[in-house]
A and B are shown apart, each in its own frame.
Chain A
């Protein structure tokens, strides 16, 4: 019975997901791109891939790779019904949160919309806010006013009182944490068979985000443990509150000890010596493996769709890394170390 219902809900989306996965460049594609001599040549080559449609007419220095993700997301959304549709849409809106953070910076630094336009992710029909209109706000208080009746209004208003003391950072963190809290809560709206894979994949993603943030807050900004705990996500797969506290309070800046019982310990073993950024690709690779495992199991649940979108996002991240590495002139062998896509 369950299978029949799942089949009914996911047959179309599953078929389309398989088609989308077939268009990913994958590790071989990335290896081929690495062999191109320059970032411009990689960009030219990308024009002949499924990314080409979105890239046409864009600036090679700020390629709009995410247009492919939005196109894929739109296609999948068209094949789903609520609550799955609402959930996948909410997941895609993490790009909108990034857009909103850019708008906050633009208003705070008085850069205007033109200053951030090349960096914004164009979400089309998925979007719930219009960054251009928002960027015209006179100040951040007006922005909060304009965001009334949007999902971001409440969080932004509640953080406004910290503007003078903490600057736009307070607003960015508030909006971001609120979004991820809502996303995690939205899992409860899904059927049980969907909730488990969603928690597994998003939990891993939340872990990675937390680890990245902790690295920044602790090692770069030197924030106190209680601040770190308040600026990170409460949910995740392996990273629990005691673990977050352990990491935040660890004066030796080690990762291995506090994370000993998680799969991240071995991945971050070299972080203390080489720096977190040098090993961060390993975390995304772990997520890519998780995605692959989800995609190869029982096919009729939301995990397959989330996995497809995550795989697309990981590949976009890899392409951005690759283009940046080419611009910096890094050797090809070194570039592949920072790539997260896994061999199929």
Chain B
């Protein structure tokens, strides 16, 4: 807690022949955060990065092929991939061969299916065409033998009819819609023109997407007579198609496990090949480097030595000893290490950015402050219990949202605790005694408490800023904005306020306040000019008067900014009290509406509905607003004092995401 997990840098040199085994061993143990050799190797000129682009493209191609097969068989979605499958000794070439063989088999089946589906479609269309022509009662042979008139029937997209009419404006013709709009927004038409205009009409119809109702030459008699024959053929064709569907289902059952395995193998290869892109090689040796949590360094080394049968060099370094880290271009990854109940609040931290290595991990403070502020603003035993119950439900039923469920449960507990302090249960304030105060009856104490809480949190922020500066061995940061001097000024001001509140108005005079605050302010005002003078003296180059003047003006702005921001940052915490009051006020409003309903003869049911809906609205609306305010206070007031984010999250090379976190 309070510090990210200590990391160690590891460089592993293995024979290139052993690299694949080593990479698999590293991925299996899943603790190495890889470092790109392009960033880490400067002194070893012989080491060059692996070029994995071709191999990666091959893996991507295979992944797409397997995914297409899975889609064809309507199997599990491709993202449900288990990269830790056992492949029974298959390598990528085997996978490629197997995928090609299955694709061949599938293509044959698909072609047969397509052919059968096409036949079905043709017969279905023919049956439909005959049904369209049946009411006309014309002999089909006669229709084909018309000498002076050209007649055709077919389907036209409804939208294209005006366009077709435009294009036929110069040709004498007749367009007769036979029925209304067909199911696919097409019209059934009979189009007639003189035989001389046939060519023009056909061109126009074709380009208007007119689909002619084809009638095979062998059909004779009336359409009515032909329908029975064609329908019998259609039934046979559908049976054939159904047979292929059954065959496909059987193939799906037979191939599903194998495809899952192949997909897993391809995914595993994708991870390993991508990892290879981070590694370097010379003629015979390969280099792997990265970061490992110190606590799991020995198992990793054991796994590497085991995989290479001892043919390796493993070199460990502390972060401070790594040249790139010292020069600031290689970040040390951050693995936060917090107890289960605090861990969900790491999301709040991630929203702002990870801490940098060596800095304080403020997650516990964030969690405690979050819960305290939430409870303060949302204190109610009944509603807290509801929040807890919702959180518990999500925790049990929707495991992927467990982090948010935990936050909800903890917020519920905090709201219950404050509910007891306020003596409020679903807004009713006479069932429980108030262990501390009732918000609407003692606003002054509520506001004073909110301000004191704010002062404490801001003080903690300023303190953490100093601690971070010391931990980073960054003396400059001690004197920057929110550094020691600003903290000193803030604490002096806090002390004076406390004295005034405890000892009465006469205890702190304006003169004493000015005198106390003058010292740190003067130091802030002078620090930059003094530093410039000191630096100039060391470098033998004294700053000019103009430059000093600019620095003084800058420092003056900083003083004003420090004073204003300290006041505003503290005053803003009064919103804790304001939202606690608004929470109680919303209850008041709900009860007023319930009373009005009762007076209007709404009966117990009406009153009950108002109370339930009112509470639901308060939980939903107020809960959301309070959460937003809490996050806002943490980000803008607390984090701005000490936290800059910018750290890199620890992401080890792993074949599959573990079910439970931790290494």
Interface residues of A (CB under 8 A from B): 136, 138-139, 141, 154-155, 157-159, 161-162, 165-166, 170, 174, 177-178, 181, 223-227, 229-231, 234, 241, 244-245
Q: A230-B163, A234-B163 are in contact. Are A161 and B207 (CB under 8 A)?
A: no
Residues of chain B within 8 A (CB-CB) of A244 are 166
12 residue pairs from A and B, CB less than 8 Å apart: A136-B68, A138-B110, A154-B184, A158-B184, A162-B206, A177-B163, A223-B207, A225-B167, A227-B167, A227-B204, A231-B207, A241-B166
User: What's the Cα separation between A41 and B169 when bound, in Å?
Assistant: 54
Q: Are B68 and A227 in contact (CB under 8 A)?
A: no
User: What's the Cα separation between A231 and B155 when bound, in Å?
Assistant: 18
Choose among B160, B185, B206, B207 the residue with the greatest number of A CB atoms under 10 Å from its CB.
B207
Q: Are A230 and B200 in contact (CB under 8 A)?
A: no
Residues of chain B within 8 A (CB-CB) of A178 are 157, 159
- Smallest beta-carbon distance A188→chain B, Å: 14
User: What's the Cα separation between A161 and B121 when bound, in Å?
Assistant: 11
Instruction: Pick from B114, B157, B159, B200: contact of A226, CB below 8 A.
Output: B200
Q: Are A234 and B162 in contact (CB under 8 A)?
A: yes
Q: A136-B64, A224-B200 are in contact. Are A229 and B209 (CB under 8 A)?
A: no
Q: A136-B64, A136-B68, A159-B209 are in contact. Are A227 and B203 (CB under 8 A)?
A: yes
Instruction: Pick from B166, B184, B185, B209: contact of A234, CB below 8 A.
Output: B166
Question: What are the nearest 4 A-B pairs in CB distance?
Answer: A229-B167, A230-B207, A226-B204, A226-B167
Q: Are B163 and A229 in contact (CB under 8 A)?
A: yes
Q: A154-B185, A158-B184, A181-B159 are in contact. Are A227 and B166 (CB under 8 A)?
A: no
Q: Are A229 and B157 in contact (CB under 8 A)?
A: no
Q: Are A226 and B209 in contact (CB under 8 A)?
A: no
- Smallest beta-carbon distance A250→chain B, Å: 14
Q: Are B206 and A174 in contact (CB under 8 A)?
A: no
B449-483 residues at the A interface, CB under 8 angstroms:
none
Q: A230-B164, A234-B162 are in contact. Are A158 and B169 (CB under 8 A)?
A: no
User: What's the Cα separation between A177 and B164 when bound, in Å?
Assistant: 13
Residue B168, interface by CB 8 Å: yes
Residues of chain B within 8 A (CB-CB) of A170 are 209
Q: Are B166 and A245 in contact (CB under 8 A)?
A: yes
User: What's the Cα separation between A177 and B209 when bound, in Å?
Assistant: 11
- Smallest beta-carbon distance A118→chain B, Å: 15
Instruction: Pick from B157, B171, B185, B207: contact of A227, CB below 8 A.
Output: B207
Q: Are A158 and B209 in contact (CB under 8 A)?
A: yes
- Smallest beta-carbon distance A257→chain B, Å: 18
Residue B20, interface by CB 8 Å: no
Q: A226-B168, A230-B208 are in contact. Are A158 and B68 (CB under 8 A)?
A: no
Residues of chain A within 8 A (CB-CB) of B209 are 158-159, 162, 170, 174
Residue B402, interface by CB 8 Å: no
- Smallest beta-carbon distance B495→chain A, Å: 48
Residues of chain B within 8 A (CB-CB) of A157 are 184
B59-91 residues at the A interface, CB under 8 angstroms:
64, 68
Residue B337, interface by CB 8 Å: no
Q: Interface digits, B166-184 against A, CB 8 Å rule (1 contact, 0 not)?
A: 1111110000000000001
Residues of chain B within 8 A (CB-CB) of A155 are 157
User: What's the Cα separation between A170 and B186 when bound, in Å?
Assistant: 17
Residues of chain A within 8 A (CB-CB) of B185 are 154, 158
Q: Are A158 and B186 in contact (CB under 8 A)?
A: yes
Residue B211, interface by CB 8 Å: yes
User: What's the Cα separation between A251 and B159 when bound, in Å?
Assistant: 29
Q: Are B160 and A230 in contact (CB under 8 A)?
A: yes
User: What's the Cα separation between A234 and B160 when bound, in Å?
Assistant: 10
Q: Are B159 and A230 in contact (CB under 8 A)?
A: no
Question: For residue A225, which residue of chain B has the nearest CB?
Answer: B167
Question: For residue B204, which residue of chain A has the nearest CB?
Answer: A226
User: What's the Cα separation between A16 and B185 when bound, in Å?
Assistant: 40
Q: Are B167 and A230 in contact (CB under 8 A)?
A: yes
Q: A162-B209, A170-B209, A226-B207 are in contact. Are A245 and B110 (CB under 8 A)?
A: no
